Amino acid sequence: MQFIGDIYAAKRLLKRPVISLEFFPPKTDEGDKALLEKHIPALMQTRPDFCSVTYGAGGSTREKTLMIVDRIQREHKLTALAHLTCVNHTREQVGELLRKIKDIGCKNILALRGDPPPGSEFQMTPGGFEYSSQLVKFIREQKDFGIGVAGFPEGHVACQEGKLADWQHLKEKVAAGADFVITQLFFDNADYFEFRDHLTTKLGVNVPLVPGVIAIVSAAGIRKFTQLCGAKIPPALGARLDAIGADDAAAAEFGIEYATQQCDALLKAGAPGLHFYTLNKAASTVRVLKNLGLA
């Protein structure tokens, strides 16, 4: 398995984008089976560069993150990125998790603060971490991992001081030892370009800033999700979604078309890769990658 920073460096030399796919641990055994035996194998045919698996706010899905990471690495011989958050963890517990991550041969961690349960504010666990930059520093001190962090082209939803202050905090995460940044999803590429240009030219950040993208599959679903994560739906996109309404088949077709155009423009403007929020389904992401000639 490789360090993900090395994957970006190698592909950069080849002038090829790095394609990564994100999954979340399902809540049920049927969901596990569908993900592991159907959707991940279907997506593997597109030959991604690495996959990532999210880490839940608590409960049983947390344990599944490493199970899925392990299976991706063993069954598909593909590098995986384990997400890890500060929520409900002391430093000792994080140290124990790092040992487990190392033991299954996973070399890469996406270090995050983590989302609090809906409607509440993040509470630091006594003996834990307040910000992800502290988690990054801790991981760097403990073991030899490749480390990624989250970036927010529209600014993080909880950063009262605005996006420039949030981007300054992102610079601190990179300074603490992150090798690459994966962004929150966004629909207006101008937001990503402003974010990238500010970080690289004004703040001197020179690690890959990788756009996170999604192919919409439901108008109501994407409205709910963007509300939670604080991403905006541009007016023209909102009007199309209103016209599509509850017709999910039409939403998925439109989502593939929109994501294809968005990704094409990002790559033409020099994005180092594309990180797909797959929603644990193969069909739309496979079609977008095929449209781009990247499958």
Contacts to ligand FAD by CB under 6 A: 54-55, 57, 83, 85, 110, 112-115, 131-133, 150, 156, 158-159, 166, 169, 173, 182-184, 212
Of 20, 114, 111, 107, which Cα lies nearest the Cα of 61? 114
Query: How far is 266 from 129, CA to CA, in rounded Å?
Result: 34
Least distance (Å) between residue 210 CB and ligand FAD: 9
Whether 172 sits among the annotated catalytic residues: the reply is no
Residue 154: CB minimum distance to ligand FAD, A? 11
Which residue intervals of 119-162 are DSSP H helices? 132-142
Which one, of 134, 176, 118, 150, lies nearest residue 52 by Cα?
Answer: 150
Query: How many Cα neighbours within 13 Å face the side chain of 233?
Result: 21
Smallest separation, CB 222 to ligand FAD (Å): 16
Decide: 76 and 46 in contact? Cβ < 8 Å.
Answer: no
Closer to ligand FAD by Cβ: residue 209 or 252: 209
- Closest of 295, 291, 293, 191 to residue 237, by C-alpha: 191
CB nearer to ligand FAD: pick between 32 and 257: 32
Task: Between 129 and 258, name the residue whose CB sits nearer to ligand FAD.
Answer: 129
Q: Which is nearer to ligand FAD, 184 or 284 (CB)?
A: 184
Active-site positions?
Answer: 22
